[in-house]
Structure 1
Amino acid sequence: MSVLECRGLGVRRGEAQVVHDLDLVVDAGAWVAVVGPNGAGKTSLLHGIAALTPVTGHLRLGSDDPHQLSRRALARRVALMAQQPVVPTGMTVRELVALGRTPFLRRFGTESATDRAAVQHELTRLGLATLADRPADRLSGGELQRVMLARALCQQPTLLLLDEPTSALDIGHQQSVLDLVDEQRHERGLTVLAAMHDLTLAAQYADRMVLLDRGVLVQDGPPAAVLDARQLNETYGARVDVLPRPAGPAVIPVRPVSR
């Protein structure tokens, strides 16, 4: 069963067309990595799906057009982890995670026992309980990414959109955050669509990869099929080797041999 269907999808940013005539179907429970060079349209695609940017063409979440859903209804189905999250000064970790319950709040915005329990569950599940009363703007990068994941999971979405979730993290925190996402995907039946910069990490976690180049889909398939050295050279203008590994292909930059 498909969670997301795009047919002939186009996305504009001001006067510029940044995604062109894109066809993409994502099945329930999949992890699809969207990769491509800077300016390829990865973030714009996620924003279009999340109804933050106008689109043209056919776009469906299940049987619904996300641009026709109310913000509350959409937020119960789709959660977006932004690349550079905005953290209000002085807001505690618990308060920031609780923002994920906004689509479920009763009239006049009062929290219920169910909302409080959902927040505590995510804090505990993601190892954040001891940080609950700490100001969120004083966290490390890895801690903040876990907090933003907890906030997204509080929305109880079926589709989780990740925009470069590990771009500011060291390799240990990159693995920690992606492991958490993968655990939650399997435990909750989440579907993940992630714009990812690191091709090797993307190949290790995603079932499928979509390669964009200047807003056009140029490859779509399993990581081993998409990560072809010749294709990556053409798309990125990079010299690389692609090494097969059990967890997924590894993309290695190659320096020219000195004469």
Structure 2
Amino acid sequence: MIEAKHLTKRIHNRLILSNVTHTFQTGRFYGIIGPNGVGKSTLLQLLSGAAKPTSGEVMLAGKPLDSYAAKQLARKLAVLQQGGLPPAAFTVREVVGMGRYPYQNWFGDEKNDPAVLVDRALEAMGLTALQNRPLERLSGGERQRAALAKVMVQEAELILLDEPTTYLDIGYQIHLLDTVQAWQRERELTVIAVLHDLNLAALYCDQLLVLHEGGLAASGPPKEVLNESLIRSVYGASATIVVHPATGVPQILLQPGGAAPLR
């Protein structure tokens, strides 16, 4: 579906990513994890085309990413940016409807009425009652849910999510990821998400990519990737790995006093 080939990125002469290569298969849910500052969001920006690599390239459906026209690319991939949507005077329904931009003509019209798609996305994100409220009157968590609803109506094949659970309490975190997972499986989408919570990543992702010191430290299913040695070497923390009693995936119990000194 999408392939990162020897991606290297420097920002202000600082090496952020170095020679990162990975193929993301259709119909899989990928999680990008790692400590702060290792280039997780940068990798997502390179995969989306929002940033250009210093060297290397991204291939989407067998073609270089930069060969796609803007609307053509927007029909292929949709992005939930870190931090979600800023406050604005547009209503929730208007903002969600903006996800249909890739299918609209110069006059903002499209062949089929998108109202049903918008209604479905609002309902999925629990926003139906708020659809006529201006975005500026929503909480950060509500705006985050509106941002995902906007991504849903875009109907792309590849979904890139940068810290999608930001601003959400644990109930809405589970609801959001349940919705994304069900949506991904129903439509056989490829989802790539930057996640900080390793336990959520293990619960929802088919594959994990661990970034560390600018490179790919590990990749594979959560059962293969998440272990005490990796947590210690990558995060500088001591942890005990247990098996989730319902799903069988690894879950991490952090040990107080086990962190390495800050550098």
TM-score bracket, shorter-length normalisation: over 0.9
Partner of 1:32: 30
Residue 143 of structure 2 corresponds to which residue in structure 1?
144
- Partners of 1:184 and 1:139 lie apart in 2 by 25
* Residue 141 of structure 1, CA deviation: 3.5
Paired position in structure 2 for 1:167: 166
Partner of 1:195: 194
2:9 is the counterpart of 1:11? yes
Equivalent position of 2:255 in the other structure: 254
CA RMSD of aligned residues (A): 1.7
In structure 2, what is the equivalent of residue 59 of structure 1?
58
Partners of 1:20 and 1:216 within 8 A in 2: yes
What are the equivalent positions in structure 2 for 1:44-123 lying under 5 Å apart? Answer: 44-55=42-53, 56-110=55-109, 113-123=112-122
Cα drift, residue 158 of structure 1: 0.6
* 8 Å Cα contact 1:12-1:54 kept in structure 2: no
Unmatched tracts of structure 1, length 5 or more: none
Q: CA deviation at 1:93?
A: 0.3
SS of the aligned residue for 2:59 comes to strand
Is the 1:167–1:197 Cα contact (8 Å) retained in structure 2?
no
Stretches (4+) displaced over 6 A:
none
Give the Å deviation of 1:139: 2.1
Distance 1:215 1:7 in 2: 15
CA separation in 2, counterparts of 1:120 and 1:13? 41
Q: Distance in 1 between matches of 2:73 and 2:9?
A: 19
Measured in 1, the distance between the counterparts of 2:147 and 2:123 equals 14
Contact 2:17-2:215 within 8 A present in 1 as well? yes
Give the SS at the match of 1:157: coil
Q: Percent identity?
A: 35
In the TM superposition, what is the alpha-carbon distance from 1:231 to its structure 2 partner?
1.4
Query: Is this contact kept in 1: 2:30–2:206, CA < 8 A?
Result: yes
In structure 1, give the amino acid aligned to 2:48.
A
Report if aligned partners of 2:232, 2:239 keep a CA contact under 8 Å in 1: yes
8 Å CA contact 1:142–1:177 kept in 2: the answer is no
SS of structure 1 residue aligned to 2:113: helix
Residue 168 of structure 1 aligns to a residue whose secondary structure is coil
CA displacement, residues 121-170 of structure 1 (integer Å, 9 cap, x when unaligned)? 32234332221101122223333222111101111111101111113222
Note if contact 1:36-1:42 (Cα within 8 Å) is conserved in structure 2. Answer: yes
Gaps of 5+ in 2: 259-263
Separation (CA, whole Å) in 2 of partners of 1:77 and 1:198:
27
Please tell me the residue identity of whatever aligns with 1:41.
Answer: G
1:225 equivalent to 2:200? Answer: no
SS of structure 1 residue aligned to 2:63: coil
Report the AA paired with residue 242 of structure 2.
L
Checking the alignment, whether the CA contact within 8 Å between 2:141 and 2:166 is kept in structure 1 is: no
Asked if the contact 1:145/1:177 (under 8 Å) is kept, the reply is no
Residue 107 of structure 2: SS of its match in structure 1?
helix
Name which of structure 1's ranges 202-211 and 11-20 shifts more when overlaid on structure 2. 11-20
What is the alpha-carbon distance in structure 2 between the residues aligned to residue 208 and residue 61 of structure 1? 19
Cα offsets for 1:32-72 (capped at 9, x unmatched): 10000001110000000111111121311111222221111
Alignment match, 1:213: 212
State the distance in 2 between where 1:182 and 1:7 align: 27
Q: TM-score, normalised by structure 2?
A: 0.91
State the alpha-carbon separation in 2 of the partners of residues 123 and 76 from structure 1: 20
